[in-house]
Structure 1
Amino acid sequence: MSDIVISNKEKLKRKKERILEDGIDSLFVVSDFDRTLTKHFSETHKVLSLVQMLREEGYLGEEYTKKARGLFEKYHPYEIDMTISFEEKNAKMEEWWRTHNQYFIDYGLNTRVVDEMVKKRKAGFRDGAIEFMTDLHENNIPLVIISASGLGFVIDDYLEKNKVFYKNTKIITNYIEFDEKGMAVGSREPVITTTNKYLAAKEHMSELKNINGKKKNIMLLGDSYEDEKMANSFFHEDILKIGFLNEKVDERLDDYKGAYDVVILNDGKMDYVIELLDELK
C-alpha cells in the first residue's frame, strides 16, 4: 500500500483547480503541531508528549503519576471512541483537561521541570516540515497552529530554537501560568482539547481577522480524526484536508478517508504536502 491515500481523486482535483484559479494569495494553512508537524515515532519508539512524560516518568511524584494515569484510563476511551456524539466527547475531554490542569498546580509543576523535560524529549520535526514552514514564510502564506497540548507554551520555544517562528505564524494553544518562583498557578482560557480546537480558534478571531478577512482557501493538516474540524470557525470557500494516520492504519483508514481529502500513512514525510503547495502556486 502506498503511504499516500487519495480519498476522492475527482473531488481533490476540483478543489485544487478552484484554489489555483483564486491564486496562492488566497491560501492560508491551519495545522496541528504534535505528531503533525512533528514525528510520531523516533526511531522505533513512540514519541511521548510532555504531559505523557510527566505521567510516565515520575517528575511530579508517585501520587501525581497514579492520579494522572487514572485520568487517562477513564477518559482516553472516550477520546478514541468513534461512536459517541461530539457533545458527549467534547464534555469528557474538557473534564479531563481541566482536572489535569489542576493537578499541575496541586503537585508542583514548575519551570525547572518543564525545562528538564524539553531537553530530554526526543521529538523532532517531521521530515520536510521545516522546509514546508520556510516555504510558507517565503510565499507570505499564513500558518495558524492550533494545539491541544497541555503544555503547549513550549511550542513557541521549539519553533524559535529551530529558527522557524516566522512572522506569518500564529499559535493557539494552552498556556500554563507560572508565578515569580516558577510554580504553576493557573491556566489561560479557553482550555483547548482535542475536540474543541475550532471553538478555541473562534475565541481568537479578532487576532486572526487580517488572515481570515483576506484569505478564503485553507490547507488543513492534522493527525487526529477530530482535527479535520479545527478550521470550522474560519470563513472559507475551499478547504483541502490532509490527515496523518501514524498508526493503527487498518483499523482507522476508512474513517480518515471520510474526514480527509488525502491521508498520509505510517508517520510519513511532508514531501506530498510540499509538492501540493508547489502545485498551488
Structure 2
Amino acid sequence: MTERPCTKTELRRAMAELLEALIKMPQVRIKNPDYMRSVFEEVIDGNSQKLQVISDFDQTLTKDHEDGERCLTTFGIFHSTPQLPDGYCEQSEVLYHKYHPMEVHPDLSVEEKTPYMVQWYKDSEQLLVGADVSKENLKNHIYSSKTIFRDGSRDIFDALKKAGVPVLVFSAGVGDVVRHALEKHHMLLDNVRIISNFLNWDSESGKLAGFQGDMIHVFNKNQRAVAAHEEYFSLLANRPNVILMGDNEGDAAMGHGVQNPKAMIKIGFLYHHAKERLEKFMDMFDIVLIDDQTMDVPKYILNYVIGKQNFN
C-alpha cells in the first residue's frame, strides 16, 4: 500500500490487511483483535490531521539491549558524567539494585510498586545535590556518550514531522539527557515536545540543586503528572486519535492528558520477566511486542495512517 485508503471499502480492506499482518508477526501479541479492528479503522480514517503521538524515551525510543549488553538509560548516561563526585556512581548503583527489582517485579501491582519508585527518585535526587556539574559539562558528556536508539526511531520522527503530527516524549528519566540525545541525533524537531525531569542549577554556585518541580516516575505518568502541561493538550484538542508507546505498565497512562480522546493505540515493549508479565501487559496495552528492538511495528501502522510517502 503506497497511499492512504480513501473510500470506506478501501478503509476496511486496509484495516483488515493491517490487523492480519500484525497477528502473523512472531513478536506481536494482541489480546482483543475485534476491538483493534475498530480502533485501526478510526485512526486510519482520521489520518495525520487527527493524530498525535505520545512516547516514553528509555527502552522505548531507545533499545533495551544490544549485542547482549544492556543499553544505558538517561540516568545511566547522567551517572557516568566525569564531574560527579567520588562515590556517586557506587551509591547510585546500590540504589539501582535496591529498587529496580521492585519496578519489574511480576507479582507486585502498580500501587505496591509506586512507594518504592518515589523513594528511589528522592534518594537519587539527594545524591546529585551539590555536584559540581555545569550545563556545558553535561551537554558535552551526553554528546560524547552512545545513546542507542531503536532501529527506525529517527525514520518515524522524520515521517511524523513531514506529516505534521505532534510528538510528545514523556520520560521519567533525566530531561536534559533526553533533550540533548534527541538533538544530537537530529530528532529534536519543531513538532516534538518533552515532559520529563529537568535538572535545576543553583544560580549562585552553578552546582546542581536537584530537579525542577515534582518528580515524574514510571508509575505517575497520569493526570497528576500532566496537569502542569494542560496547555499543550488543549492545543491538540482537535487531535483525538493517539498512538502511544511505552515499556512499562505506568506508560499506559501517558494518554490521560489527551482531551476528548476518540481512538488510542497503545503499544507496549516487553522485555524482562516477559512470560510472567505478559498477561498484565496485555491488559494495559493493545499491542504487546516481545523483545523487539525495532520500530518496525509502529512504522508499519503509521504507513496506513499517514501514508508511506512520508517515509521517503
Q: What's the TM-score, normalizing by structure 1?
A: 0.88
Distance 1:273 1:89, change over 3 A: same
Superposed, 1:211-250 pairs within 5 Å as 211=236, 213-235=237-259, 236-250=261-275
Q: Which range moved further: 46-55 or 187-196?
A: 46-55
Whole-angstrom CA distance in 1 between matches of 2:63 and 2:210: 29
Provide the residue aligned with 1:154 in structure 2: 177
Superposed, 1:258-269 pairs within 5 Å as 258-269=283-294
Q: Which amino acid aligns with 1:189?
A: G
Q: Does 1:40 align with 2:56?
A: no
Conserved 8 A contact 2:242-2:263:
yes
Q: Which amino acid aligns with 1:279?
A: Y
Provide the residue aligned with 1:209 in structure 2: 234
Q: Aligned-pair distance for 1:3?
A: 1.8
Whole-angstrom CA distance in 1 between matches of 2:229 and 2:81: 34
Provide the residue aligned with 1:129 in structure 2: 153
Conserved 8 A contact 1:145-1:171:
yes
Identity %: 27
Q: Which range moved further: 65-74 or 38-47?
A: 65-74
Provide the residue aligned with 2:34 in structure 1: 10
Q: Aligned-pair distance for 1:13?
A: 1.1
Q: Which amino acid aligns with 2:269?
A: F
Provide the residue aligned with 2:88 in structure 1: 64
Q: Which range moved further: 99-108 or 225-234?
A: 99-108
Whole-angstrom CA distance in 1 between matches of 2:165 and 2:159: 8
Provide the residue aligned with 1:176 in structure 2: 199
Whole-angstrom CA distance in 2 between matches of 1:57 and 1:22: 44
Whole-angstrom CA distance in 2 between matches of 1:134 and 1:54: 27
Q: Aligned-pair distance for 1:247?
A: 3.7
Cα RMSD (Å): 2.5
Q: What's the TM-score, normalizing by structure 2?
A: 0.80
Provide the residue aligned with 2:22 in structure 1: none
Whole-angstrom CA distance in 2 between matches of 1:82 and 1:251: 6
Distance 1:111 1:145, change over 3 A: same
Task: Tell me the alpha carbon deviations over residues 72-115 of structure 1, each in whole angstroms, 9 at most, x when there is no partner.
Answer: 34433432235445444333322221221121014545446634
Equivalent position to 2:277, from 252, 261, 276: 252
Whole-angstrom CA distance in 1 between matches of 2:70 and 2:83: 19
Q: Which amino acid aligns with 2:247?
A: D
Whole-angstrom CA distance in 1 between matches of 2:43 and 2:68: 38
Distance 1:155 1:244, change over 3 A: same
Structure 2, unaligned runs of 5 or more: 1-24, 307-312
Q: Aligned-pair distance for 1:51?
A: 2.4
Q: Aligned-pair distance for 1:219?
A: 0.6
Q: Aligned-pair distance for 1:50?
A: 4.0
Equivalent position to 2:165, from 122, 137, 141: 141
Q: Aligned-pair distance for 1:141?
A: 0.9
Whole-angstrom CA distance in 2 between matches of 1:107 and 1:255: 39
Distance 1:204 1:171, change over 3 A: same
Conserved 8 A contact 1:4-1:264:
yes
Q: Aligned-pair distance for 1:19?
A: 2.0
Provide the residue aligned with 1:99 in structure 2: 123
Conserved 8 A contact 1:148-1:192:
yes
Q: SS of the counterpart of 2:187?
A: coil
Conserved 8 A contact 1:93-1:193:
yes
Q: Which amino acid aligns with 1:21?
A: D
Conserved 8 A contact 1:8-1:261:
yes
Provide the residue aligned with 1:166 in structure 2: 189
Q: Aligned-pair distance for 1:172?
A: 0.2
| Greater Rg over alpha carbons, structure | 2
